[in-house]
Amino acid sequence: MGLRVKPTYRQRRFGAEVRKLRERAGLSVGESAAVMGMQQSHISSVEAGRTSLSEERLRRLAGRVSGVSSTYVDALLELGQRSGKGWWSVYRDRIRPSFLDIAELEAGAERIVNYEPMFVPMLLQTEAYGTANFKGGYVRPSPERQELESEFRLRRQGVLHGEAPPRYHAIIHEAALHARFGSREMMRDQLLRLIEASRLPHVTIQVLPFDGAVPFGTPFNLIEPKVAELGTVVVPHIEKSLYLGDVDSLDRYNRWFANLSEMALPPVDAEVRPEAHSAKDSLGLIQRLLYPLL
């Protein structure tokens, strides 16, 4: 099998984790090649994400590192050997690589958290809202590009409706719910979609109110597989999204999200009767914004 020309983020992350194992074992590239019965050039290709590593060889390397759990090694194997031919594969070379990377990460996630200060999160957008938002961006895409990316966004939402969906927790700043990119009907449908999504048992939605004394801040996604240590923080940017997988970044963003969750209103609970809402909560705020749109 030839070397990958354009490894995905997942493949590059696997290589980076192999390199960390080698360094923790105190081995040079040549020494690790001897341990695993490989050529040095092969090790370099693995660490660059251009090729994978067999289970036997990875376990040999992990065996030289003290304190490495079998759970971590199993999860790392799954990361490296997971087929990259998911639903998103048909969009390869047709859509931005960062879109493909995040879809691939979501497909292997057990937990996804998302903070959005200015927009409704993509996994919760209606088609009309997403299209209006996309048209209002910095770049003016062609109609064909708009249709393709709209289709891709909708297919991404399937991660919340599969047989074993991840736990999904979104915190949305109130500012995002006041912004209108299209008609009143479009925004009304989007607010109703949030209430509808909250009925899914694995979905939690909170609103961070204006009076929460929190600046808008930067949006981010934290995507975790079975082992949180292998999680990734994705910080979107107009030019190039930032992907962070080091332990310090994961801890930092987890703390930030926990703090935001404490400052946000209680989660949307569409099953609670109106008279049971004794204090301001996320559902009450969304309903208040809905009334002028009816």
Reported confidence tier of residue 100, pLDDT bands at 50, 70, 90? very high
Q: Domain residue spans in the chain?
A: 9-81, 87-293
What's the pTM value of the predicted model, to 2 decimals?
Answer: 0.91
Band (pLDDT 50/70/90 cuts) for residue 5 is confident
Q: Rounded mean pLDDT of 254-283?
A: 82
- Measure the CA–CA gap between 208 and 282, rounded to whole angstroms: 8
* 117 and 218 Cβ atoms separated by less than 8 Å: yes
Residues 9-81, CATH architecture: Orthogonal Bundle (1.10)
Euclidean distance between CA atoms 92 and 291, whole angstroms: 42
What is the third-level CATH fold of 87-293? Endonuclease; Chain A (3.30.870)
Q: Is the pLDDT of residue 292 over 60?
A: yes
Mean pLDDT computed over 92-118 = 93
User: How many CA atoms, within 13 angstroms, populate the side-chain half-sphere of residue 21?
Assistant: 30
Looking at residue 23, its pLDDT comes to: 94
Q: How confident is the model at residue 238 (pLDDT cuts 50, 70, 90)?
A: confident
Over 70: is that where the pLDDT of 273 sits? no
Say what the pLDDT of residue 11 is: 92
Radius of gyration of the chain (CA): 22
Task: Please write the tens of the pLDDT for every residue from 109-168.
Answer: 999 999 999 999 999 999 999 888 776 555 666 778 888 988 999 999 999 998 899 999
pLDDT digits (tens, 9 = 90+) for 6-65: 899 999 999 999 999 999 999 999 999 899 999 999 999 999 999 989 999 999 999 999
pLDDT for 57? 93
Tokens of 261: 């969750």
Which token pair is 145?
């590009």
9-81 and 87-293 have identical folds: no
Higher pLDDT, 145 or 265: 265
How much is the pLDDT for 66?
86
Percent of the chain, pLDDT > 70?
92
What are the structure tokens assigned to 111, written together? 């937990």
Tokens 């996804």 sit on residue? 112
> Does the pLDDT at position 294 exceed 80?
no
Q: Which two tokens stand for residue 170?
A: 């979104």
pLDDT tens, position by position, 253-262 = 999 999 999 9
**Banded model confidence at residue 240, pLDDT cuts 50, 70, 90:** confident
> Max CA-CA distance within the chain?
70
Q: What is the model's pLDDT at position 143?
A: 79
The answer to whether residue 225 scores a pLDDT higher than 80 is yes
pLDDT of 278 higher than 60: no
- Res. 221: pLDDT tops 90: yes
